[in-house]
Structure 1
Amino acid sequence: MQVFSINLCQEEEYLEERKVFQKVVMNQLQVYGINLMEVTPTNVALNKRKLDEKPLVIVYNSGKIQNELDENIEQFLEKAKEKQADIWPVAFSKEAREPVDNISKKQSYDIWEQLRCRGLDKIHISAIAKAFSRKIIARELPTLYNNCGEVFISHRRIDGEEIAALIYDKIKIQEEKLKIFRDVAKVNVGDEAQTEIDEVMKNSEIFIFIHTGKAAESDWILKELRFALLRNIPILWVQIDGADVKKLRIKPSDQPHLSYSSEDFEKEETLTEIIDEILQKAFELIMLNSNKIFDYLETVENLFKSKLQVWDQKKMIYSLSMERKGYHYPQRNINQYIQIFGRTVTEKDVDYLREKLEDSNVDSILILSNKMIYSLSMERKGYHYPQRNINQYIQIFGRTVTEKDVD
């Protein structure tokens, strides 16, 4: 996986900020195996040859009137557009919002605006770099992380509602694409509240557990934590005012991931920093959980060996062709497609895969996740007479399978 970056920003005023931003982005991407290649006039020819289909190119805008763009860089951008690249301009200032002519219609990622909406100054630019990195990772590893996913806030109203509300409101500002859920704010008047809550929990990428002093007494909190653990949904444990860990009937992990005092949420700047910490830690827990899927993939590869072929590397779609047995006459192979997810699978994912394979000679599609298993029944094709659909179901266990499970 490779992402390309082009630096057109030469202003001394933003030199330090640019260095910090680029270093943080590069480090974040390297953690997850994504290479960030800086394109310069001296290496542009080599990098142009590395452009594959639909690459990502990041362009750091110049805040000054752009003189004639280097011819080689211009050719690289044209080649990238031919390859249907996503081109993301980045602006370090209001003056740099407009990209160069070749990509002038592209909307810039506005660092100044990202700082403004958080009420921060440029010394906090590393937090913005991490948020930008999460967007890149969601694009490059689409079956592991979804930056538009559901986030469920689990809290006790009696002593945690105000903090939950502050977290909810701030996340909506700082990460507006996330679908953050807080029951009071999201359940409509007249709706069956528990039905709505259960549906959101089922589809959540992560739970944020606000551990206040009275949270341990709540049966609803107990139910929510148990639900997340049973469905392999990560839980971000946020301890407030040193709430007693020993009183919890279920512990989400060995110890809280983050700890704060109630007073920390009262200052705007501190609250902003807390939310950035929560968002980054939530992302890390999601990715840690998602990476478990590679163990399943290795098992599938060992089981089917050369019969399993990569069909779409980025979206982790594999094809499997199996010989039909027990027939008197030769039959075409059974063609199956498997997509593997580390994150929560959405209806949009299912629809995408169904549409992508609709015109293929496919008998069945399986979507495997470390949370859920989906089976898509597909029409048999290539027969003179109508045939029943092929239906398959697979269940994956992290523990030993018993006879009771099989029954």
Structure 2
Amino acid sequence: MKVYIIHPLLTIGDFPDVTLFAEECFHELDRYVDVSMLTNEDKLRTIAPGKSDMIVFFNYLENQEESYLLNQLFDQISELKSRQELKEDIIPVGSSVNSRKPPDVFKEVQSFDIVDHLRRRKLSSEYIPTIAVSLARTIISKLQPTLYKEKMKFFLSHRRADGENIAASFCRELRGRGETPFRDLLDILVGEEAQHIIEENVRQSDAVIFLDTPLAGESEWINKELLLAMSLNIPIVWVQVGSQSPEDRKDLKIKPGSKPHFELPKLSEAQPEFELDLLDKIIDQAFRMSRESAKLVYDQIQRLRQFQKHGVEVRELNKRNLFYRVTVKRSGFKYLQNPMTHLIQFYGRAPKLHDITSVNQAINEMGYTNSNLGKYHDTTLILTPRTASYVDVDPEEITIEPSDEYLYEMERIVNPSKVATLRNKGIVLAGAFPDSELEYHQILTDAVFALVTGILNKEGTIIFGAHPTFQHLIFQKAKELFPDKYKEHVHMYVSEYWLNHPLKEEYKKHCTLFPTEINNNNLDLSLTELRQQMIQNEKAIALIALGGKTDSNGHKPGIDEEIELARKKGIPVFILGAVGGRSAQLAAAHLKSGTYRSLNTLSEEDNKLLMMGTDFSTIFDKIVSSLII
């Protein structure tokens, strides 16, 4: 699947604004997909678009002489693709009011209208790059429809007392862009059960926009919304509104990151209007964060393919829609049995009701259902990035399952000797957000989510030093999996340096709390005391290091001390590099010097996976398999 952009010079000529649009669209696409810019007729002669490729071009101006070579290409594409494929894969772009009509061969295809997109956003031509990114999102969503939606569903988390007008302004502008926002005051009908409706809409959202007004820290509703989103690994775009002075703001009980993605000190209830391109930046931030999580689907597909060495057949049915057939031989029967057959589709986003309809339609078209004889397969599964009740479906028709749970179940079926347990054992998670760009913090969140889920699924204990973002994610996941004994599976260490009695009692509700003493009234010495006690936890059998601040500006990374303490205790250390920060530096240094062998028993190849890989579920499986349990 490839995208070809035909440079506007080949259709309408030299118009700087249109050239800028084409180049910005190309650069955005180049971050995610295979894209080529065709800038002259020689390049045009050499391409041979495939049936699954997409073509982007700029419509001729009215009464303009058309290119014979280009029209030949258009005729070729028209013969190659079906009517529906033309509507999906051909993107004519109208650059002005007199270039909105595509060539006759594509007359049924809707053009992307630059002028109209600027008008609807109330933007001037200076915002051409913003509209170009919007087109790139449209193209990416068409190329990878189960990973992204062109129009995202946003949940607006806000405090009514000082954020109602701001939320209303955001909601209005989002709807004006064709996005789907949910705002409790607007979208909950009188008489409906508010909490249930709010929770379901958080679960079904592609991202949460958190409007952090000065009074937001008082709201228990906001705490619940952020906690639910974090426990489901839904991206949260943190927008801090109003005064940034700590004296003017209520402390947040739950922080979705190390710092806000956007700071808007001039925005307030009295002045809720904002610059119109701000919302596009927020949407773009949400899309990028979603992209970081969604691309892990390709790692999960690779994990599925690895089962082929155990006799599982994995056949790709539809590349664009990530549709696969999985067949497993049945054994233990006297008589011949047909293989167990699963039809599965991978999603990197929350599936919607129309997706369910599309799955059923695709199965029928591929001949896996007969009106008289029934299904020619055992089950249909939609594999999702997280546990949530997205839509109501008939379980006899379709099963919606988190990808990790399906892959774990397959491992249990085809390779049961590899299914280890961590019962009565614990793993130390050491690290924090790295000092990198905020959009890459989602990678660390994905890693923590995968590791926490993996440890708990294997009945293990998570051992960590209190982290203002991750502690709530860990608490929630433990409660989901062990509702009656979740405290046993979460050991959290906190220095008395930060603890007061109310906070101590609050923590005790969620975990087994280990307060550590203040050492000589010194923060650094007190943190060393915490780390020493944490590593000495009687259940600890390994330490996983991820992220952390680097040693720039003379900072002494805490992760270094934790690794040193773990090695002194004699427990293996595993360093994840792809999350960035200090762990990336350490992983690279150990691999370069060959000293990884002193850290753990993994091979050089597997330690490279720890350094470079982003399939954190596979990485966790590698780690557990190397431990003597």
TM range (shorter): 0.7 to 0.9
Provide Cα deviations, 1:39-95, integer angstroms capped at 9, x if missing partner: 753233432x33224x3222201324122x333321211222221333222112112
User: Are 2:28 and 1:31 equivalent residues in the alignment?
Assistant: no
CA 251–322 in structure 1, closer or farther in 2 if over 3 Å, else same? same
User: Which of structures 1 and 2 has the bigger CA Rg?
Assistant: 2
**In 2: Cα distance, 1:254 partner to 1:156 partner:** 21
3-state SS of 2:334 partner: coil
Partner of 2:278: 274
**Of 314, 322, 335, which residue of structure 2 is paired with 1:308?**
314
**One-letter identity of the residue aligned with 1:61:** N
Aligned positions of 1:151-300 closer than 5 A: 151-173=154-176, 175-176=177-178, 178-241=179-242, 242=244, 244=246, 247-263=251-267, 266=271, 270-300=274-304
- Offset of 1:180 from its aligned partner? 0.9
* 2:154 counterpart SS class: strand
Corresponding residue pairs, total: 390
How many angstroms does 1:318 deviate by?
Answer: 1.6
2:495 corresponding residue in structure 1: none
- Cα distance in 2 for partners of 1:5, 1:330 equals 54
Alpha-carbon distance between aligned partners in 2 of 1:280 and 1:362, rounded to the nearest angstrom: 40
2:129 and 2:399 mapped to 1: Cα distance?
51
| Alpha-carbon distance in structure 2 between the residues aligned to 1:197 and 1:390 | 24
2:77 pairs, out of 72, 77, 80, with: 80
Rounded Cα–Cα distance in structure 1 between residues aligned with 2:129 and 2:44: 28
Alpha carbons 2:241, 2:267 under 8 Å: kept: no
Partner of 2:415: none
Residue 377 of structure 1: how far off its partner (Å): 5.5
Q: Which residue of 2 aligns with 1:362?
A: 377
**TM-aligned CA deviation for residue 278 of structure 1:** 0.9
| Equivalent position SS for 1:366 | strand
Q: What is the alpha-carbon distance in structure 1 between the residues aligned to residue 344 and residue 70 of structure 2?
A: 39
| TM-score in terms of structure 1 length | 0.87
**What secondary structure sits across from 1:58 in the alignment?**
strand
Shift of 1:186: 1.8
Cα–Cα, structure 1 residues 255 and 267, in superposed 2: closer, same or farther, change >3 Å? closer
**Aligned residue number for residue 383 of structure 1:** none
Q: Which residue of 2 aligns with 1:386?
A: none
Distance 1:187 1:35 in 2: 43
Contact kept? 1:364, 1:392, Cα under 8 Å = no
Q: Which runs of 5+ in 2 are unaligned?
A: 369-375, 409-449, 461-480, 484-629
Q: Distance in 1 between matches of 2:30 and 2:318?
A: 22
Distance 2:276 2:395 in 1: 47
Give the direction of change, closer, same or farther, for the CA distance of 1:223–1:264 in structure 2 (3 Å limit).
closer
1:340 to 324, 343, 346: 346
Q: Is the 8 A contact 2:156 2:183 kept in 1?
A: yes
Partner of 2:195, secondary structure, is: helix
Of 301-310 and 160-169, deviating more is 301-310
Partner of 2:334: 328
AA of the residue aligned to 2:17? E
Three-state SS of the structure 1 residue aligned to 2:41 is coil
Structure number with greater CO (CA < 8 Å, separation at least 6) is 1
Runs of 4+ in 1 over 6 A off after TM superposition: 373-376, 389-393
Distance 1:272 1:150 in 2: 19
1:239-283 deviation line (CA, Å, top 9, x unaligned): 112264881111111111111123489596x52021111111111
| 2:12 match | 10
- 1:51 is the counterpart of 2:84: no
Aligned to 1:385: none
In the alignment, what sits opposite 1:22? Answer: 22
Q: 1:103, CA displacement in angstroms?
A: 2.5
Letter in 2 for 1:402: K
Which whole-Å CA distance do the structure 2 matches of 1:272 and 1:406 have between them?
A: 46
Q: Deviations over 1:304-348 (max 9, x none)?
A: 346222221111112111111122222222221221111112222
CA-to-aligned-CA distance 1:9-44 (integer Å, 9 cap, x gap): 4344xx211221111111111111231342753233
Amino acid at match of 1:399: G
Report SS of the residue matched to 2:454: coil
3-state SS in 2 of match to 1:96: coil
Note closer, same or farther for the CA distance 1:141–1:243 as it changes in structure 2 (3 Å cut): farther
Deviations 1:130-181 (A, max 9, x none): 11111111111112111233210000000111111111111111x21x2111
TM-score (norm 2): 0.57
Distance 1:243 1:295 in 2: 43
